[in-house]
Structure 1
Amino acid sequence: MVLRTAGGHFSLLVFLWSVAVVQSQNVWSVTYTTQSICTLKGSTVEMSCSYTYPSGTVTSTFWFTKKFDVENYVNLINDRNYKGRVKDRSDKTNGHTLRITDLRESDSAEYKFRFITDQTGGKYSGYPGVTLSVTDLQVKVTTTWWSTTLTCSTTCTLTGNPTYTWYRNSKIVQGASSPSYTFYFKTEDSFYCAVKGISSPAVCECD
C-alpha cells in the first residue's frame, strides 16, 4: 500500500511537469526591455524586444506605429516620416533593436513589434508596445529680490537620470544631476542648459 501511494504521487508530478512544458512551447509573445521612454528632441533612442513562437520559421519582422486595416501595417522603415532615421537590427536569440536618430516631437507614439511565420495564422504583434515621448528643453526662471534660479525642464521625466550642464556665455558653470542653477547678482550674461549635448535656447540676458 505504501509503495502504490508513492508511485501515484510520482506519476502525478510527472504529469504536471509535462503540461507546463507543453504550455511554454505554445506561447506567442513579445517582451520589451522597457515600455516607456522619455527623451529629447534631436537625440537618438533605442528600443529592444525579444519574441517567442510555437513552431515554424519567421519570415518577416518589423516595427510599426500605424495600422490602417486588419492586415495593413506600416513598416517603420517604409514610413516616409522616418526616412533615413530608422535602423532595425536582430540577433541570433530572437531579439530585435529599433534605433531612431534625430528625434522629433512628432515621433512621440507607441511602437510595436510584429513578426510573421510560415505557419497558417502564424502572425503576432506585441501589445502594448513601447511608449516614446519626445520633448524639448525649456527653461523656467524664478526670481526673488536676492537671486535668480533657472530650471531646465521637460514635459516628461527624462529616462536614465541625465546630467544637466549649465552654460554662462558659452562657458560651463555647472555640470551635475540637478536641473537648476542659481545666481545672485544682476547680470547681462546669457545662460542656457544642455542634456547629452542638446542645448536649450538662451534664457536670460539681464540688464
Structure 2
Amino acid sequence: MNGQRTTKFDLSGYFYSKDSYSCALKGREDFPSPLVCVKGQSCNRVTYTDRSICAVKGSSVNISCTFNSHDKDIQSKFWFSPERSGRWQNLSQPEDLSEDSQFAGRVQVLDPETGRSTLRITDLRETDSAQYHFTFKTPGFEWRSSLPGTTLTVTDPDLQVVVKRSLSWSYVKCRSSCFLPEHVSYIWYLNGKMIPKETSDHSGIFHITDSYSCALKGREDFPSPPVCVEGQSCNRVTYTDRSICAVKGSSVNISCTYNSHDKDIRSKFWFSPERSGRWQNPSQPEDLSEDSQFAGRVQVLDPETGRSTLRITDLRETDSAQYHFTFKTPGFEWGSSLPGTTLTVTDPDVQVQVIWSSTGPKLVCHSSCPRPGGLSFVWYKSEKRLEEETSSSYGGNIDSAESYSCAVQGHERHRSLPVYAPKLLSLSVSPSAEIVEGSSVTLTCSSDANPAAKYTWYEKNHTLLRRRKLCV
C-alpha cells in the first residue's frame, strides 16, 4: 500500500481515495503489478516506465517514472538507490542521489511535465548497477520505498552478429542485448581483419570460408564472437575470456577455440601485438614462445583439435598485454586486427568494505583483481590471523573494539588497510578565545576511524543535525 510492504494475501474493508495498491509473488518481488487506486483516480502512486534496463559502461541512461500525489502540495521529490543506504545518516530515511559523491557531476533530474520525472546518469560505471527509486513527500504523506523501482545493469557491450539469408543474398546485423548510445559507430572484422564498414548492418554475397565479427567504435576490446554467414565451417577464432586479471608471481591460462575451413593447417601460435617492436616485420606476428621475455615461462597446450591454451607462469607486470592466436593454411592466414584476450598483471589490491544493514555491519574483502573460479582470502583481527576465515565475507562476530583487515591467500604481504570503529572522540571549539554572549562559535567533532565516522549533534537528547561541524 502506497509503496509500503504488507504481508496480507488479500484485503477487504474501507479504502481511502488517497491510497494505491500493488501486489507481487513472494520470491518474485521485482515484478509487482501496476499500482491501482481503489477509490477514484487521484490516489498516491509511482509507476516506473521500465522494470529493468541494461546499459553499456561509459554511456548514459534515462530512468523514468510517472507519479501522482493526492495532496498536490509536494514539498520534496527525489531519486535514490537502496544499495547506497550504507551511506545514509539513517537507514530508514532515503537520501537524494544527486547529493551522493559517487554520482557527482553525473546525475541530472529532468521534470519534462507535471507528474513525470526522469533520472539521467552519464558516464555509466559497473558500480552503478543497482535499483533506483523515486519518492515524494507532502506535509502529511511520504511515498514508501518497499515497492521495487527500476533495476539498472551496467555491463560491457554484449554484441552478437545476427544473420538473415535469402536465396540470392545474406544480411548481417550487429545487435546488443543492452541499450546502446545514440549515433554509435561500428567496426566490422572479416576473418579477424578490420574492414571499412561503420554501420550496424550490411548485406551482399558472402563466402562459405568467411566469418564476421563486430564491435562498437571506442569499445573495440569487446567484439562479438565471429560467426559464419554461410554454413558452419568458416575460419574463426573465439577467445574464452575477453579480459583476465592475474596477480604477480602467479600463473594464467589464456584459451581459445578455432576452426579452419581448409584443414591443412601449416602453423599456429600465440602472439602479443605489444611485442611487435621486436618482430622482423611489424605486420608479421611472431610466436610468443620464441620471445626472450617469456623464455622458460610459456607453454602452449592443445588438449583437443580446435582448442589451444597459452599458459604463462611467474607472471610479471610487464606481461600485461593483449594475447592473440593465429593459424595459417596454404591459402589463408587468420587476421590480427580482431582483439584477443587482455591480461592485466598487478599486485592484489584489496580493501575491506563495510556494508551496513538493519542487522548491523558486514565486512567484505574486495580485490581489484578477481580471478575466474574465485579467490581465497585471509582475515586478521587486530593483527591476529583467523585461520577459519577464507571467504570474501567475514563470518565471525564483529567486535567494535577490534580492527579487521584481509589479504588474498598466498599474497599476505599485500594486506588491506584495517577498518575499525571510531575511537579517541574529541570536541574542539572555534574561536578558542573567550566567547562573548550572542556571538557565533563552531563546534567540531573528530575521531580516529576507518571508514570515516558520521556524526550526529544533540541538544538535551534532541537531534540537531548530522554533520561533523556545528555552528551555533
Match status 1:52 vs 2:263: no
Which SS does the other structure have where 1:134 is aligned?
strand
Q: Cα–Cα, structure 1 residues 57 and 42, in superposed 2: closer, same or farther, change >3 Å?
A: same
Structure 1 distance, partners of 2:384, 2:325, is 45
List runs of 5+ in structure 1 lacking aligned partners.
1-12, 144-148
Match status 1:193 vs 2:413: no
Match status 1:123 vs 2:333: yes
Q: More helix by proportion, 1 or 2?
A: 1
Q: How does 1:51-200 map to 2 (within 5 A)?
A: 51-65=258-272, 66-68=275-277, 69-71=282-284, 73-117=285-329, 119-120=330-331, 122-125=332-335, 127-140=338-351, 152-167=365-380, 168-169=383-384, 172=387, 174-178=389-393, 184-185=400-401, 193-195=407-409, 197-200=410-413
Contact 1:112 1:128 survives alignment (8 Å)? yes
CA offset digits 1:62-105 (Å, max 9, x no partner): 1111334111x232111222111110011342211111111122
Contact 1:137 1:153 survives alignment (8 Å)? no
Which SS does the other structure have where 2:256 is aligned?
strand
Q: Cα–Cα, structure 1 residues 96 and 132, in superposed 2: closer, same or farther, change >3 Å?
A: same
CA offset digits 1:42-70 (Å, max 9, x no partner): 21111111111221411211111133411
Contact 2:234 2:259 survives alignment (8 Å)? yes
Q: Cα–Cα, structure 1 residues 183 and 131, in superposed 2: closer, same or farther, change >3 Å?
A: farther
Match status 1:24 vs 2:24: no
List runs of 5+ in structure 2 lacking aligned partners.
1-165, 170-205, 210-229, 355-361, 419-472
Q: What residue identity is the alignment partner of 1:136?
A: D
Which SS does the other structure have where 2:253 is aligned?
strand
Which SS does the other structure have where 1:198 is aligned?
coil
Q: Percent identity?
A: 33
Aligned to 1:41: 248
Structure 1 distance, partners of 2:313, 2:395, is 28
Q: For this pair of structures, how many residues does the alignment match?
A: 182
Contact 2:254 2:310 survives alignment (8 Å)? yes
CA offset digits 1:22-54 (Å, max 9, x no partner): 833651110112212122222111111111122
Contact 1:138 1:152 survives alignment (8 Å)? no
TM-score by length of 1: 0.68
Structure 1 distance, partners of 2:301, 2:346, is 25
Contact 2:243 2:342 survives alignment (8 Å)? yes
Structure 2 distance, partners of 1:15, 1:204, is 65
Which structure is richer in relative contact order (CA contacts within 8 A, separation 6 or more)?
1
Structure 1 distance, partners of 2:339, 2:325, is 10
Q: Cα–Cα, structure 1 residues 172 and 129, in superposed 2: closer, same or farther, change >3 Å?
A: same
CA offset digits 1:132-173 (Å, max 9, x no partner): 122212344789xxxxx9875544444333232224445525
Displacement of 1:204 in angstroms is 6.6
Which SS does the other structure have where 1:67 is aligned?
helix
Structure 2 distance, partners of 1:185, 1:104, is 40
> CA-atom RMSD, angstroms?
3.8
Q: Cα–Cα, structure 1 residues 20 and 70, in superposed 2: closer, same or farther, change >3 Å?
A: closer
